[in-house]
Amino acid sequence: MKHWRIEQMDWDAFDAAKVDPDIIPVVKAASVVERNGLDYAAYLGNVFIGDPDFRAAAENWAVEEVQHGDALGRWAMLADPGWDYMEAFERYRRSFHIELQVDASVRGSRTGELIARCMVETGTSSFYTALADATEEPVLKAICRQIAADEFRHFKLFYDHMHRYLAREKLGVWARTRIALGRVTESEDDELATAYHTTNEPQETPYDHERCIAAYMSRAMGFYQQKHINRVTSMIFKTIGFAPHSTLQGWTARAMYWLIRSRARKFRKLAVL
Ligand SMILES: [Fe+2]
Ligand SMILES: [Fe+2]
């Protein structure tokens, strides 16, 4: 079912001289978040009881997410041979978990859940496209391109199912906007900050949300260009139910890029780099 396989990548082409040291911590953090996809599939399985089509799609989706983690983890071990992906993942699992035993979405409805999933895939597809464009290291560039293609397909998957539920649940534009923007701003919550902590900091260093999110975001936000944010805003507009290419979307894209750059500057000041 996978669209590509880790073994197909040309791992021998890895070029240590082309690795930007600022990319390694971000790749390490992303690898464990991706591998955690199985937990999300279990959560989605509980939210979508009685919808075998979606549950089967979610299981397949999780297999692809885990492969993203494994590919990034393998690359990070080449870039930093002293680092252990599986050990870091176990540490991450002990520190961060989502509530799996649910019988309804934390977003209030199935449509809401699928909107949140669309936002996550919007974020990941743009992130890996930006990372592929930012890195000169050929193996990471190739991996990020494959992953980004998967993430765009995931967006489409959740978007299509969202429309199926929207026909029944009839969530209005403002409710959709609130859920979408709520999920976008959650990117500064604990998931990525904990991932940064458990994959980059020594065991004995206590977790500090502000320090870790600043360390992660100050690097990750720096990879984005205006063209990546144009795509992000189109995908957000489309999910909410607005025209994906319009004057309003163009303004929003420029405002969002300005905001990201100013947040990145703020995080750089806060980060202990
Ligand atoms: Fe992924
Ligand atoms: Fe994905």
Kindly give the confidence (pLDDT) of every residue in the chain, 273 residues in length, as a single tens digit, with 9 standing for 90 and above.
789 999 999 999 999 999 999 999 999 999 999 999 999 999 999 999 999 999 999 999 999 999 999 999 999 999 999 999 999 999 999 999 888 888 888 898 999 999 999 999 999 999 999 999 999 999 999 999 999 999 999 999 999 999 999 999 989 999 999 999 998 888 778 899 999 999 999 999 999 999 999 999 999 999 999 999 999 999 999 999 999 999 999 999 999 999 999 999 999 998 865
Query: Residue with structure tokens 């994959």?
Result: 199
Question: Which ligand lies nearest to the CA atom of residue 61 in the structure?
Answer: 2
Q: What is the pTM of this model?
A: 0.95
Q: What is the number of other CB atoms lying within 10 angstroms of the CB of residue 70?
A: 17
Q: For 130, phi and psi rounded to 5 degrees?
A: -65, -40
Task: Please tell me the distance between residue 9's alpha carbon and the centre of ligand 2 in angstroms.
Answer: 19
Distance of CA 124 from the midpoint of ligand 1 (Å):
6
| Phi, psi (deg, nearest 5) at residue 222 | -70, -15
Question: Distance between CA atoms of 172 and 240, rounded to whole angstroms?
Answer: 9
- CA of 65 from ligand 1 middle (Å) equals 4
Give distance in angstroms: CA of 62 to centre of ligand 2. Answer: 8
65 CA to centre of ligand 2 in angstroms:
6
Q: Is 87 exposed, middle or buried (0-12, 13-18, 19+ CB in 10 A)?
A: exposed
Tell me how far the alpha carbon of residue 120 lies from the centroid of ligand 2, in angstroms. Answer: 7
Q: Which of 61, 67, 64 is nearest to 161 (CA)?
A: 61
CB atoms under 10 Å from CB of 167, counted, come to 8
Length in residues, the chain: 273
Residues ≥6 apart with Cβ < 8 Å to 97 = 39
Expressed in angstroms and rounded, the spacing between residue 59 Cα and the centre of ligand 2 is: 12
Q: Which candidate, 2, 25, 61, places its Cα nearest to that of 201?
A: 25
Question: How far does residue 68's CA lie from ligand 2's centre (Å)?
Answer: 9
